[in-house]
Structure 1
Amino acid sequence: MNAAARPIKNIAFDMGNVLMTFNGPYFATRFSDNDQDAALLQAAYFGRGEWALLDSGTIGYPTMLRIAEAHLPERLWPNLHDMAAHWARYSEPIPEVNDLARRLYEQGYNLYLLSNAGTRIDEQLDHCPAYPLMKGRVVSAEEKLMKPDPAIYELLCKRYGLVPAECLFVDDNADNCVGAKVAGMQAFHFTGDVAALAAAIGVSRQQ
């Protein structure tokens, strides 16, 4: 944060690889018994450009499934269907970030979720420790807006009556942080260093 920045009152977290793991290659290994098939499943589902259309709300999960089927041998369709239905159970909380979010909540910060994700995001959030502490959320597929479009950050602020300059947005994608700054928010590019995140907010890493 620069010296002229306004005090932070609100913190908006991305979900994938900030609060919860998102690792398509790992998920695929849970639904196959060899590395070759796992690689095919990953490439056909999580690895396709159409995944961004799913996150944007442009297509739905049945369409994503049909696209993936078209790029897999039919023998792997049962594995694909099982993976599509259940991969979210293997998305795990990132403990140190969730612990930091809890401490921030206890210190009076307002917490929000701002994520590029599909309409089934609650299958991950239902085991995210920090999510019950949050005052609201903006999810790309639900809004038909995606980061780094400044409009999605502006929507968060308008919906919950937030002053953008008093908000810190945390994301593992640097471009998404740029979008937040264009919208008038402060931003932190998260690369796994929880101590640096805590220091940017102005709190100790542990309490």
Structure 2
Amino acid sequence: MIDAIIFDFGDVFINIDKEHCHNQLKKLGLKEWNSELDILNHNYEIGKIDEIQFMGGLQKHIPNASVLEIRDAWNTVLKDFPENRLEFIQMLAPKYKMYLLSNTDRTHIEKFEHKFGLSFARDFYSCFEKVYFSFEFGFRKPDEKAFQFILNNHHLIPKKTLFVDDNADNIASAKNLGLKTWHLNPKTEDVVQLLDYMKNLND
């Protein structure tokens, strides 16, 4: 019997488009997304560097664009947040212990809160026992430490905990720790179908 659920954020609740974001950066002059930028992004998402350092690192690859232009392009990854998903999670909140676990950075979260409004963001956050953003607590999926931190911190039993994510590597890590999982396909599935999915879970 599931009594706790850990949710991803991007493409589970808020729709995202990484390809569109990269195209916007290319329009500003980025030739290609490379391993150096992967490391830069990783360090920003685990809070090792701040926004100024991150944007400065991006600007080295896009020298003719301003930091503001780069920041705006970076935030185009964030798309819509269907209201029925908020209504669904609000309905679910009294029934389960729920947690949000997202690989994200301060820039994107500030944009989310500005784009949809603080009231909307607070209504969403309040559905969870705790919100874990990678840039705040220093761990990033698929690192098993990210899951272990939440399991230990909240005394969760893995086999009674469901993890919902659209990323196969993150799902694999959760499975390694004994969690139940739903590898959600954002093109064909929606988080509001969660209760139907859970009916088919093996105890």
Q: Into which bin does the TM-score normalised by the smaller protein fall? A: 0.7 to 0.9
Selected match of 1:93 from 81, 84, 92: 81
- Choose the corresponding residue for 1:22, options 16, 27, 45: 16
Name the residue aligned to 1:4: none
Query: Given the two structures, how large is their TM-score scaled by the length of structure 1?
Result: 0.74
Whole-angstrom distance in 2 between the partners of 1:12 and 1:26: 27
Q: Is the 8 A contact 2:20 2:77 kept in 1?
A: no
What residue in structure 1 maps to residue 154 of structure 2?
Answer: 160
Residue of structure 1 equivalent to 2:105? 118
Shift of 1:117: 1.5
Structure 1 pair 147–190 and aligned structure 2 pair: CA distance change class (3 A): same
Question: Does structure 1 conserve the Cα–Cα contact (< 8 Å) formed by 2:17 and 2:77?
Answer: no
1:36–1:141: structure 2 CA closer, same or farther, 3 Å change rule? closer
The correspondence for 2:96, drawn from 96, 106, 109, is: 109
Deviations 1:23-46 (A, max 9, x none): 2454578xx7xx9626x469679x
Per the alignment, residue 55 of structure 2 pairs with 65
43 and 98 in structure 1: CA distance in 2 versus 1, 3 angstrom threshold: farther
SS at match of 2:169: helix
Q: Which runs of 5+ in 2 are unaligned?
A: none
Give the Å deviation of 1:197: 3.3
1:48 to 11, 34, 37: 37
Stretch deviating more after TM superposition (87-96 or 147-156): 87-96
The number of residue pairs the alignment matches comes to 188
- TM-score, scaled to structure 2: 0.75
Question: Which one of 132, 140, 145 corresponds to residue 151 of structure 1?
Answer: 145
Q: After the TM superposition, which residues 170-189 of structure 1 pair with which residues of structure 2 at under 5 Å, given as runs?
A: 170-189=164-183
1:167 Cα offset (Å): 0.8
Q: What is the rounded CA distance, in whole Å, between the counterparts of 2:45 and 2:149 in structure 1?
A: 17
* Cα distance, 1:138 vs structure 2: 2.3
Structure 1 residues 27 and 42, CA gap change in structure 2 (3 angstroms): farther
Secondary structure of 2:156's aligned partner: coil
Cα distance, 1:8 vs structure 2: 0.7
Aligned-residue Cα RMSD (Å) equals 3.2
- Kindly state the Cα deviation for residue 171 of structure 1 after the two structures are TM-superposed: 0.5
